[in-house]
């Protein structure tokens, strides 16, 4: 039970980080451009990741060649995210931008779970999950008003 609680807490921390990162990156993108802000964010993330990797003894970095080809697409998805943020933030505001991103993430998460893509545990789409998606759209609508 405590490990689940910790997992939820860490998950919320990640959400808080994205909640701060998105408007900060969007604001940066308004000043330097979407691609430039993505580059700067990923550069600073690379430096901090490198320091953490050194602190953690390199983890298992030497096994990078064993990763599937699609693992290297994640950086491209990061670029798409930053370009999306830079486009939607000035037009829709921070709350709506984050709402749309979260709805998109959860919809893809449900599909990935259903098919077990990328080695995740299979969790079928069922009525409660469908209702949850509909509630997300309803919440997004209410937030946009």
CA 94 remoteness from chain centre: 15
**What pLDDT, on a 0 to 100 scale, did the predictor assign at position 60?**
94
- How does pLDDT run along the chain (145 residues), one tens digit per residue? 777 888 888 888 888 888 888 888 888 888 999 899 889 999 999 999 999 999 999 999 999 999 999 988 988 888 888 888 888 888 888 888 888 888 888 889 999 999 999 889 999 999 999 999 899 889 888 888 8
Q: Domain range for residue 54?
A: 2-144
Instruction: Say if pTM beats, i.e. exceeds, 0.85.
Output: no
- Please provide the DSSP assignment of 80-115 as one string: HHHHHHHHHHHHH-HHHHHHHHHHHHHHHHHHHHHH
**What pLDDT, on a 0 to 100 scale, did the predictor assign at position 115?**
95
Question: Per the structure, how many domains does the chain have?
Answer: 1
Residue 112's contacts (CB-CB under 8 Å, 6 or more residues apart) are 118, 120
């Amino acid at each position: 039970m405590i490990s689940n609680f910790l997992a939820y807490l860490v998950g919320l921390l990640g959400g808080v980080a994205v909640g701060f990162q998105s408007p900060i990156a969007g604001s940066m993108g308004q000043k330097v451009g979407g691609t430039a802000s993505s580059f700067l964010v990923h550069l600073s993330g690379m430096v901090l990741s490198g320091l953490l990797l050194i602190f953690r003894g390199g983890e298992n970095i030497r096994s990078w060649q064993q990763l599937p080809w699609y693992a290297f697409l994640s950086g491209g998805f990061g670029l798409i995210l930053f370009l999306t943020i830079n486009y939607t933030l000035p037009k829709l505001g921070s709350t709506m931008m984050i709402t749309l991103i979260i709805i998109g993430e959860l919809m893809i998460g449900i599909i990935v779970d259903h098919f077990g893509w990328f080695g995740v545990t299979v969790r079928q789409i069922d009525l409660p999950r469908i209702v949850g998606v509909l509630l997300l759209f309803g919440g997004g609508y209410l937030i946009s008003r």
